[in-house]
Structure 1
Amino acid sequence: MKISEKIHQILIRKLFFFSLFIIFFDQLTKFLVLHNLDVFEQIKVTSFLNIVLVFNTGAAFSIFSDGYHWQRYMLITVSLIVILFLVHLLIKTPKENRLNEFAIYLIIAGAIGNLIDRIRIGMVTDFIDFHIGNYHWPAFNIADSAISIGAITLIFFEIKNYLSTKKLQE
């Protein structure tokens, strides 16, 4: 086995354990909020940040949260398909593309964190409430943050790779 392959395997293990930490931290923070706050109860942290217990039965920004029970099973199924697709993508990602691996691990960890909620309680626990004055960004959680950071990182580097390839072709 080459040294570069050993280094890559070590990195993969570190990313795997980092993902487990994200899932654990997501579930721990949700547990603490669930057991210490009532629904819609707020704790002011700063002038722009509250901790508030809310539930999301839908997807991002409460899409599909129309109150019907079908969306729970649809979102669980979609989450499982996305996770499996991302694992496949991770396997196919070139070893040199470490930031893409990091981004994919973040998205997988976030998807698993929210999937655990959907399976366990039928909805996702959100609690981070950023606001400016009376304008509040939709509440979110650690898993949502991991998904967002991973997706932004993946998109950024895919655009960068595309532009680099295009420049080389000219």
Structure 2
Amino acid sequence: MTRRLWGPFSPAVAWITLAGLIADQASKLWLLHGYGLAERGGVALAPFLDIVLVWNRGISYGLFQQDGDAGRWALAGFTVVASVGIWIWSVHAETRLQALGLALILGGAIGNGIDRLAYGAVADFVHFHVGDFSWYVFNLADAWIVAGVAALLYDWAFGGPKIAAK
């Protein structure tokens, strides 16, 4: 039974998840309530980087926008189910990189889930742009999720002979 809920990498996954979650939530709390981004408006940090406030009522890249409470709670429920699934997957992680990737995804998912519960939408604020090219607006939780997926893909593709032999 213990192996179903706690594995060899679980302490590291828990700490990395917590660190990512704290960094994400601290940045959002400071920008929203400390700096007052909504009241002050966006700020250009560099010719290619702005801090702006965008409320994302959907999921990644603004897909599946939800304006009503039913959609908000459905996405929040999906986040809880996905987070439990990611934790269980991490219990069975076979490599450190796989565990790291899952921890980053979990920290990001929980961070964005907290926003959805607290504000009804996810606070996004980092905007990269070059000339006419504009990348979507994102937050640290989104960055953790992307980095986690990249780690999982790298581990899957180049996990070494031990993993490939399975």
Q: Which TM-score tier does this pair reach, normalised by the shorter chain?
A: 0.7 to 0.9
Shift of 1:134: 3.3
Shift of 1:160: 2.5
Percent of aligned pairs sharing the same letter: 28
Map 1:87-166 onto structure 2 (within 5 A): 87-94=87-94, 97-161=95-159, 164=161
- In 2: Cα distance, 1:66 partner to 1:87 partner: 26
Aligned to 1:48: 48
Measured at CA, do residues 167 and 118 of structure 1 come closer, stay the same or move farther in structure 2, by a change above 3 Å? closer
Moved more, 15-24 or 109-118: 15-24
TM-score calculated relative to the size of structure 2? 0.84
Aligned to 2:3: none
Aligned to 1:74: 74
Measured at CA, do residues 12 and 67 of structure 1 come closer, stay the same or move farther in structure 2, by a change above 3 Å? closer
- In 1: Cα distance, 2:138 partner to 2:30 partner: 15
Number of residues of Structure 1 aligned to a counterpart in Structure 2 = 158
Aligned to 1:3: none
Q: Output the aligned Cα RMSD.
A: 2.5
Cα contact 2:124–2:139 (8 A) shared by 1: yes
Q: With a CA cutoff of 8 Å and minimum separation of 6, indicate the structure with the bigger relative contact order.
A: 2
Larger Rg over CA atoms? 1
- In 2: Cα distance, 1:14 partner to 1:87 partner: 12
Q: Deviations over 1:73-130 (max 9, x none)?
A: 1211111111111111111122xx1110010000000000001001111100000000
TM-score calculated relative to the size of structure 1? 0.83
Aligned-partner residue type, residue 51 of structure 1:
I
Shift of 1:22: 1.1
Shift of 1:64: 1.1
Cα contact 1:100–1:157 (8 A) shared by 2: yes
Give the match's secondary structure for 1:52: strand
Aligned to 1:33: 31
Structure 2, unaligned stretches of length 5 or more? 1-6
Cα contact 1:40–1:54 (8 A) shared by 2: no
- In 2: Cα distance, 1:92 partner to 1:166 partner: 13
Moved more, 43-52 or 64-73: 64-73
Cα contact 2:44–2:50 (8 A) shared by 1: yes
Q: Deviations over 1:114-150 (max 9, x none)?
A: 0100111110000000011232211000000000000
